[in-house]
Structure 1
Amino acid sequence: MDMKQKSQFTDRITRIQAGGPNTFATVYCGPQSINTPKGKAVEGVQTRSQAPMAPRITTVQKMRAGLQSGLTQVSVFTALFVAYVRYVGL
C-alpha cells in the first residue's frame, strides 16, 4: 500500500470510529419528502405521486382470452394432425 493510501485509510477509520461518515459524499436513495439535516433541499431529487395503476382485467375478459387460446390450440393441433394423416398415414 502507498503511504498516501495508508493515511487515507487511517483517516477513514478514525472518522468511522468517531461516528462520522465513511466517505466524503452522502448518498440519497428514493424520493425525498423532507429536507436534509442542514435544512437545504437535496438537489436533483424529484418527488412523484403514485404511479398510475394499470386497468384490472375482469373475469369475463380472462375467460374470453382463455377460450380463444384453447380454440386456437385445438384448431392448430387438428390441422397438424390432418396434415400428418394425409401425408404420412396412420
Structure 2
Amino acid sequence: MHQQHAQFADRIRRIEAGAPNTCATVYTGLQDVDTPRGKRVSGVSHRAVAQEGQVLKRTLLALGLKSGLLKLIALGSGLLIFLHFSGV
C-alpha cells in the first residue's frame, strides 16, 4: 500500500511538472495558471459548442428512430405477406 502511495505521489509530481508520459491533464472550471491573454490552452473550452464532425445526440436518436421504424415496417410487411401466402 505504501508503494502505491509513493507511485501516486510520483505521478502527481510528474503531471504537475508537465513531464512526458503523463497521458493528459484535465482542466475543469476556471483556469488560475499564468497563461498569456488570448492564448488558448489545449483541452480547455468553456461553453463548448458541438464541433464540426461531431454528431449531436438528438441527430443520432432521430436517425436511430427512423432506422428502427423502417426495419419494423419491412419485417411487418414480410410477415403479412408470408401469412397471406401460407394460408394461415
TM-score normalised over the length of structure 2: 0.40
Tell which structure's C-alpha radius of gyration is larger.
Answer: 1
